[in-house]
Amino acid sequence: MIAWMAAPAPALSQRTASPGSTPYRISVNSELVLVNVTVRDRQGNFVKDLKADDFSVVEDGKAQKISSFDFENIDVAPLTASGAAGSGPAQIVIAGQQRAQAPPAQANNASDELRNRRLMVMFFDLSGMDADQIERSVKTAQEYLDKRMTPADLISVVSLGTQLTVNQDFTADKALLAKAIDKLNPNSSSGFEAGATGDTESTPDDANSFSADDSEFNIFNTDRRLEALKTVALGMAQIEQRKSLIYFSAGVSQTGVENQAELRAAINAAVQANVAIYAVDIRGLEAMPPGGSASQASLRGVGLYSGSAIQGQYDQNFATQETLYAVAHDTGGQAFLDSNDFGKVFDRVQQDTACYYVLGYRSTNSARDGRYRHIQVKLARKDVKLEYRAGYYAPRDFQHSSQSDREDELQAELASDLPATDLPVFLSTAYFRLADGRFFVPVSIVVPGSEIPFTKNADKDKATLDFAGSVRDSASKLPMGSARETVKLNLDESQQVRRRSVQYNTGFTLPPGTYHLKFIVRENQSGRMGSFETDIVIPDLKKAAIKMSSVAIGSQLQPAPKKKTESPLVRDGNELLLNVAHVFSSNQTLYFYYEVYDPAKARATEAAGAKQPPKGSVRLLTSVAFFNGKLKTYETPLVEATELNAPDRHAAAFQLQVPLEKLRPGLYTCQVNVIDDAGGTFAFPRVALLVRENKTVAPAPNGGQ
């Protein structure tokens, strides 16, 4: 539920990060487009004497100004017997798994250390390989280390099994690389394979009449592999030189258009990070007999006789290779398919990285629409041949992103350890017992109306806000609840909405314990997001002298929501809106709401088997005292309860009203006095609030939007 609050919340302090996490996040957007250009003469020799002025770059028919220029000439001398050609820069991170940060001096010199070096990542996708294929890929990599590795090579080893792992950071140490590759033995494979899609036609007849539909699993598995490629590419984005990623895989199958978003994201990340992907289908050249291999049963149906079975095998094989070709071709690399000579991939990497120019420019097209942009590199000389990638996808801002991309961004921010601080967000909670071992936790979130960019349509101001939240057990980290809602605001301009605060109300049902609560709020005009994190403790009231809820305070009542709710804040057709800031004006009425559970006589009556204690057997006394410093300035009249007015929850509920015109402006400590006269027990919880002078504010709209 959403509501407009009559006053802003200037006294709030924003909680943005959990203890121990980084308190600030710096966001840097680099618009530099890097293009690797290889120049050869008519004899195929590299041309090495060109300058920046010799090149011209055109993007979508418009000339671009070259702002950076570099020439990389890789030394391809044979490796010495010792295999030590310098260790290269230590701890270059490709997936955020570095063990220690590099010293500042080393970081400053990293660019110089990487000049004229061949940066190569051997990526082993163990999740889709069987034991023979893993052994084949490991053997191919070992042969390169033993016979063709050069002193200019800096190699890293990455694997994807049950998780993405950096087995070895960039190094030229042959022994370290060999050790890392040796650990990728066939027994480490998790053996993920593409599943069936529920159709038994042309499948092996193994006496099982049911064929499970594994489409959802295949979608997840493919997204997982593409996400791993994107993560590795982004981890190398800080290195300007060309990087070559050799992807050993047994094919990657897409399921319709379900994986297109992740495929595009992986390709974009690789292009922006200047990473060329060289995909190797480690299955090699496969024979496809019409009846299937000798290791499987005869096929069901008529596919074996009509030719559809063999056509299906070819289509399936093509589908698993199509993704490999796409990620290689679109990133400036090459796919090696249907060949048993796997070492060719290293020959191609050496050729492509032996001698090249790196041109950088900032596009004159400032639109962040995510469209493909064509690149053309020209030289005045006509006797040379240029090799470079044909284009790239432009960055995509929030307005041009798809609904699925927006949802992924929201969920990624919710899972992030870093806070979002672009949009101010404030939050408060409480707790009320519903039954033994079950509590309702209302959550109120406030966003200043001045921070919401409204769009004008006729005589209405319109805006939408996305809310996403989760609550996790602090010890086990298991999710205990979630919330997700898009709220549309549609208000008259005359209501001066920018002078108010937007309040969103929701709630969770939880057992006693300690939890971590996080909410993300996004305004959908510019895509700015804000987050709020806090720990909440729900006490176990079994041993408490007086079992009490939180003390909720507010100044506004609104009609109860139409949908059914367990919130005790809804009474007599109205809902009390929690005041998140605890800031009030002197012309408002202050509402206190709290509950007392199982008073002494009620417990005795329940033990005797009665559902409701007799009238008069319960005697609870309560009042609220206001202290300004050590001076008590006001106290409400004493309220007496002789029965449980919420018998379904074994609770006596109290709602007290205080006209704040009786108090002078200032900071107050409110002490809630609760005495169980029958049991001889008492409690004195306290809350702080600020009363300020009345200021003329346009009336708040009745109810929520």
pLDDT at 167 over 50: yes
Place of tokens 């009474």: 571
CA angle in degrees (0–180, nearest 5) for 125-127-131: 90
pLDDT band at 251 (very low <50, low <70, confident <90, very high): confident
Lowest mean pLDDT among 92-101, 640-649, 653-662: 92-101
CA angle in degrees (0–180, nearest 5) for 697-702-705: 105
pLDDT at 319 over 90: no
The residue among 517 and 115 whose pLDDT is bigger is 517
pLDDT band at 492 (very low <50, low <70, confident <90, very high): low
Report DSSP state, residue 700.
P
Packing angle of the helix pair 260-272, 403-415 (nearest 10 deg)? 70
d(CA 196, CA 198): 6
Backbone angles phi, psi at 419, to 5 degrees: -80, 150
Predicted pLDDT at 202? 46
Q: 110-120 burial, b if ≥16 CB within 10 A, otherwise e?
A: beeebeebbbb
Predicted pLDDT at 444? 95
Report DSSP state, residue 213.
B
Predicted pLDDT at 216? 67
pLDDT at 83 over 70: no
Closest CA to 593 of 616, 575, 580, 581: 575
Query: In the structure encoding, which two tokens stand for residue 437, read together?
Result: 């071992």
Report DSSP state, residue 579.
-
Mean pLDDT to the nearest integer, 24-40: 71
Task: Summarize pLDDT for 438-467 with one digit per residue, the tens.
Answer: 999 999 999 998 888 887 776 667 889 999
Q: 161-178 burial, b if ≥16 CB within 10 A, otherwise e?
A: beebbbbbbbbbbbebbb
pLDDT band at 698 (very low <50, low <70, confident <90, very high): very low
Specify whether the CB–CB gap between 508 and 441 falls below 8 A.
yes
The residue among 670 and 613 whose pLDDT is bigger is 670
The residue among 404 and 387 whose pLDDT is bigger is 387
Predicted pLDDT at 301? 59
Predicted pLDDT at 256? 63
d(CA 326, CA 334): 9
Specify whether the CB–CB gap between 523 and 465 falls below 8 A.
yes
Specify whether the CB–CB gap between 78 and 174 falls below 8 A.
no
pLDDT at 561 over 50: yes
pLDDT at 480 over 90: yes
d(CA 64, CA 52): 13
pLDDT at 634 over 90: yes
According to CATH, the superfamily of the domain at 75-353 is von Willebrand factor, type A domain (3.40.50.410)
pLDDT at 289 over 70: no
* Sheet order of strands, 55-59 included: 62-64, 55-59, 372-379, 391-393
Specify whether the CB–CB gap between 332 and 36 falls below 8 A.
yes
Residue 452 has a CB neighbour count (10 Å cut-off) of: 21
pLDDT at 687 over 50: yes
- Indicate the average pLDDT of the chain: 80
What secondary structure, in 3-state letters, does 445-485 show? EEEEHHHCCCEEECCEEEEEEEEEEEEEECCCCCEEEEEEE
The residue among 17 and 336 whose pLDDT is bigger is 336
Residue 203 has a CB neighbour count (10 Å cut-off) of: 19
The SS3 call for residue 490 is strand
Predicted pLDDT at 114? 75
Task: Summarize pLDDT for 85-121 with one digit per residue, the tens.
Answer: 344 443 444 444 443 333 333 444 455 667 778 899 9
Specify whether the CB–CB gap between 278 and 336 falls below 8 A.
yes
pLDDT band at 308 (very low <50, low <70, confident <90, very high): low
d(CA 133, CA 139): 10
Specify whether the CB–CB gap between 181 and 154 falls below 8 A.
no
* Sheet order of strands, 66-73 included: 66-73, 355-362, 32-41, 384-387
Predicted pLDDT at 76? 45
Q: Where are the beta strands (DSSP E) in 582-685?
A: 583-585, 589-597, 620-628, 631-635, 639-641, 651-659, 666-676, 681-683
The SS3 call for residue 77 is coil
The residue among 164 and 510 whose pLDDT is bigger is 510
Q: For 390-449, give the DSSP string.
A: -EEEPPB-GGGS-HHHHHHHHHHHHH-SSPPBSS--EEEE--EEEETTEEEEEEEEEEEG
Task: Summarize pLDDT for 568-625 with one digit per residue, the tens.
Answer: 999 888 999 999 999 999 999 999 999 999 997 655 555 555 555 555 578 999 999 9
Where do the domains of the chain lie? 1-28+401-543, 30-72+356-394, 75-353, 558-705
Beta-bridged to residue 675, according to DSSP, are 621, 682
Mean pLDDT to the nearest integer, 633-658: 93
pLDDT at 510 over 60: yes
Predicted pLDDT at 18? 40
Predicted pLDDT at 5? 59
Find the farthest-apart pair of alpha carbons in the chain and give their distance in angstroms, rounded: 107
**pTM, full prediction:** 0.63
d(CA 219, CA 216): 5
Predicted pLDDT at 299? 59
Mean pLDDT to the nearest integer, 228-232: 90
Integer-rounded Cα radius of gyration of the chain: 33
The residue among 634 and 662 whose pLDDT is bigger is 634
Residue percentage of the chain with pLDDT more than 90: 40
pLDDT at 638 over 90: yes
Mean pLDDT to the nearest integer, 248-255: 82
Predicted pLDDT at 7? 46
Specify whether the CB–CB gap between 660 and 591 falls below 8 A.
no
d(CA 344, CA 675): 84
Do the domains 1-28+401-543 and 558-705 sit in the same CATH topology, yes or no? yes
- Helix (H) / strand (E) element for 301: namely none
Mean pLDDT to the nearest integer, 351-360: 88
Predicted pLDDT at 418? 82
Predicted pLDDT at 204? 52
Q: Has domain 558-705 been given CATH number 2.60.40.3880? A: yes
pLDDT band at 322 (very low <50, low <70, confident <90, very high): confident
Place of tokens 């690399």: 333
pLDDT band at 28 (very low <50, low <70, confident <90, very high): very low
Predicted pLDDT at 298? 57
Alpha helices for 498-580 (secondary structure H): none
Specify whether the CB–CB gap between 603 and 596 falls below 8 A.
no
pLDDT at 509 over 90: yes
Q: Which fold has domain 1-28+401-543?
A: Immunoglobulin-like (2.60.40)
**Cα-Cα-Cα-Cα dihedral sign, residues 474, 478, 481, 483:** positive
Q: For 345-386, give the DSSP string.
A: HHHHHHHHHSEEEEEEEE-S----B--EEEEEEEES-SSEEE
Task: Summarize pLDDT for 518-559 with one digit per residue, the tens.
Answer: 999 999 988 999 999 999 999 999 888 899 999 999 999 988
Mean pLDDT to the nearest integer, 211-219: 58
Residue 81 has a CB neighbour count (10 Å cut-off) of: 6
